[in-house]
Structure 1
């Protein structure tokens, strides 16, 4: 599988993007009709439950973000192709810039629920396809299930087998899981109190991550000259 970004993230960027991932799921679920932006497993389950109950209108609300997520994955795959990289010199920055812009727009403009969930699901798919590693630790910034599995595996490697580096990787994954949960908690709280304007905080957080990546890229390029 092609990848947009070939360099792993610093731990701070990984934690920040994970917090944004949890935040956005809470933001759309609490503020926009019980629909997830990132957790498409949840959308599929809720879609199936609604269909079985005969609540077709309720069930079909979960289809647009699911389809938008798939489109976002397809766009991300296209951005990773050589022809796209010749056109966009910094595709990872384009992804984060697009995400920040979309989040700011949905926070500042009153839009229908479906438009918001479709837009957020699209940029969430771009993010999950772009940022995949913190150091040498594979992770998912938008869905925590795989991170939990890896967390337990690294704990076993550290505690039972004394594998070199497992304790550090366990710590990184624990931080990522906690950041995701913390982001979800903050997202729920702010959405309940400020409504759509809660989308401004993750937009700022994404811009911070973008700035950190740009600074690190410039530093690395200077060292390679």
Structure 2
């Protein structure tokens, strides 16, 4: 069966445009980041596995001997995140010049598998000696892989894991700050998405459902991986 060419003057459908716009997908991933950091900070010994800015500060707390913080947990998170970012950079160098949609889907699918594996471990061995380290390494590696990908995608104001510059832009570029406020809706949505994920993750963790929180994060990422397009 042969494919008929489009009529004269008509454009062939753009395969990169099929699916959810990247802006929507990245907002969804921001919700996931809130869940992941709620799980790691509240359930894995006061360590972040998505927000590395906070993690560097936490490492300083731990190094100074502040109670409740662990150098080894935080160092493991930082190391795994950096390894994930290296892997994400290599994937971007290899596949970033081709289909944006296929590249984004592949890396998000890998993130979903890693977070899903952490959910399985948390469910199967919640009190085992090495469970906390396994969850820290798997989720931090996944977040490093994602952050490298998001950075290469270059969608403005949507880093998915940190909000400092988003909040700065929201205030400084607002009408009150002398700007146009053109990107305020996107920036506000990113803040709300992170907050929503943190609320959901914290609600589950404090009720003893850490594995469920990770499963929700993995499932959400998997859905976004399947649904994403290559366009903003």
TM-score by length of 1: 0.79
Question: C-alpha displacement at 1:82, in angstroms?
Answer: 4.0
- Say yes or no: does 1:171 pair with 2:191: no
Question: C-alpha displacement at 1:181, in angstroms?
Answer: 1.0
- Say yes or no: does 1:150 pair with 2:165: no
In structure 2, stretches of 5+ residues that fail to align are 1-15
Q: Counterparts in 2 of 1:1-225, with a 5 A limit?
A: 9-53=21-65, 58-82=70-94, 90-109=102-121, 110=125, 112-132=131-151, 137-155=156-174, 158-159=175-176, 161=178, 163=180, 166-167=181-182, 169-193=183-207, 194-213=209-228, 216-217=229-230
* Contact residue 9 and residue 133 of structure 1 kept, 8 A: no
Q: Secondary structure at the match of 1:75?
A: helix
Q: Which has the larger radius of gyration?
A: 2
| TM-align CA RMSD | 3.1
Relative to structure 1, the CA distance from residue 89 to residue 41 in structure 2 (aligned partners, 3 Å threshold; closer, same or farther) is closer
C-alpha separation in 2, matches of 1:27 and 1:210 = 22
* Contact residue 69 and residue 122 of structure 1 kept, 8 A: yes
**Between Structure 1 and Structure 2, how many residues are aligned?**
205
* Contact residue 17 and residue 206 of structure 1 kept, 8 A: yes
Q: Secondary structure at the match of 2:56?
A: helix
- Per residue, is there more helix in 1 or in 2? 1
* Contact residue 45 and residue 70 of structure 2 kept, 8 A: no
Question: C-alpha displacement at 1:89, in angstroms?
Answer: 8.8
CA-to-aligned-CA distance 1:172-201 (integer Å, 9 cap, x gap):
110111110110111111122212222111
In structure 1, stretches of 5+ residues that fail to align are 1-5, 221-225
Q: Secondary structure at the match of 2:173?
A: helix
C-alpha separation in 2, matches of 1:162 and 1:146 = 15
Question: C-alpha displacement at 1:51, in angstroms?
Answer: 1.8
Bigger mean CA offset, 22-31 vs 136-145: 136-145
C-alpha separation in 1, matches of 2:78 and 2:66 = 20
C-alpha separation in 1, matches of 2:21 and 2:206 = 32
C-alpha separation in 2, matches of 1:50 and 1:11 = 36
TM-score by length of 2: 0.77
